[in-house]
Amino acid sequence: MIPVPGFENRRVAVFGLGRSGITAARALQAGGAVPILWDDGVSGRMQAEAEGFPVEDLTAADWSGFAALVLSPGAPLTHPKPHWTVDRARDAGVPVIGDVELFARAVAALPEGQRPRVVAVTGTNGKSTTTALIGWVLKQAGLTVHVGGNIGIGVLALPAPTPEAVYVIEVSSYQLDLTTTFAPDVAILTNISPDHLDRHGGMEGYVAAKRRIFQAQRPDATALVGVDERWGREILAGLRADGRSAVEVRTASPSPSRGKVARRAGWGGCRNRTPCQPIRRKQPPHPSRSASHLPPRGGRDRAGRPRPYRDR
């Protein structure tokens, strides 16, 4: 578990007691905070009480006494309409954050030389595969690697930070919406296509949520942006306009005018800035035609049986 400092002896509201909510409460308590838990479901409240956490009906709570609201990613922040806890928090001037933001603050609280490295991956498709693959590659290189977030283990349930560790974190658009200081050393956006539009108020809101993975990065951090779709290209252009040295990543063949090499199944490389041409692979004969492609045969096989003759 990763203890979260910064809220010592202060009350922090935690709503939504699924995997991320309970884990956030444990991490906050380990860091010295006083988490106050609530969930609309009875089972979540019972689990919190079984672990000894204070459970308080947030509909009747004094919100002016909370230092923050840790909101479950499953509860809407803005659309279709804000969750009632979000309205209460905003009316009281209480910041609304999530588990990934707590992780970011825990890392930032460490002395600079003691901080682990963080690789964060988001995207509409392929983020889980990319996260798992990066984690595997880094482990094969002999590094101390912790993989989690939106995949597998919740981010705050991962082992406590050590200087040599690398965290490979998958983050969803819901989690990114609840971040303000999350600053991964490497941020990767695999791709963007329409998804979860009801939760983000349309495509513009969804793209803005995905772009937040880059918002707090240091100037020397690495940003990799998938540019197969126009939304990725727009994010890349925005980062470069801000002076960031973002790297474009593509899986589709580029236009010849770009003069760059792209490879995917069925496509060869382009040389000397000439257009890529599809590789035409020779297909095997259809099974129904296989006999007509065989030469006439005769004699005997290894068991001494006569071989059949085949007509051309």
Active site includes 196?
yes
Hey, how many other C-beta atoms are within 10 angstroms of the C-beta on 193? 13
Contact between 121 and 171 (Cβ < 8 Å): yes
Q: 127 catalytic, yes or no?
A: yes
pLDDT band at 266 (very low <50, low <70, confident <90, very high): very low
Element (H, E) at 189: strand 186-189
What pLDDT, on a 0 to 100 scale, did the predictor assign at position 274? 43
- Tens of pLDDT, residue by residue over 150-190, are 999 999 999 999 999 999 999 999 999 999 999 999 999 99
pLDDT of 51 strictly over 80: yes
Q: Which two tokens stand for residue 130?
A: 């990319």
Burial class of residue 203, CB neighbours in 10 A (0-12, 13-18, 19+): middle
Q: What is the pLDDT of residues 22-39, one digit of tens each?
A: 999 999 999 999 999 999
Say whether 139 is catalytic.
no
- Measured in Å, how far apart are the chain's first and last C-alpha atoms? 72
Catalytic-labelled residue, pool 83, 127, 146, 210: 127
Q: Residue 158 contacts by C-beta under 8 Å, 6 or more apart in sequence?
A: 1, 2, 146, 148, 167
Catalytic residue among 83, 146, 150, 210: 150
181: left (phi over 0), alpha (psi -120 to 50) or beta: alpha
**155 half-sphere exposure, CB direction, 13 A CA radius:** 28
**Residues 21 and 28: beta-carbon distance below 8 Å:** no
* Closest-CA residue to 57 (of 29, 85, 99): 85
Residue 247 to residue 27: CA distance in whole angstroms: 35
266 φ/ψ angles, rounded to the nearest 5 degrees: 90, 0
Domain edges within the chain: 11-97, 111-258
Amino acid 285: pLDDT: 54
pLDDT at 254 over 80: no
Q: What is the mean pLDDT of the chain?
A: 87
Q: What is the domain class of 11-97 according to CATH?
A: alpha beta
* pTM of the complete model: 0.80
Instruction: Please name the residue ranges forming H helices in the chain.
Output: 19-30, 42-50, 84-91, 99-108, 127-140, 173-177, 197-200, 203-211, 230-241
Q: What is the pLDDT of residue 259?
A: 41
Buried/exposed 150-170: b ≥16 CB within 10 Å, e otherwise: bbbebbbbbeebeeebbbbbb
Class of domain 111-258: alpha beta
Report the sign of the C-alpha dihedral through residues 194, 196, 202, 204, in that order.
negative
Return the pLDDT at 252: 72
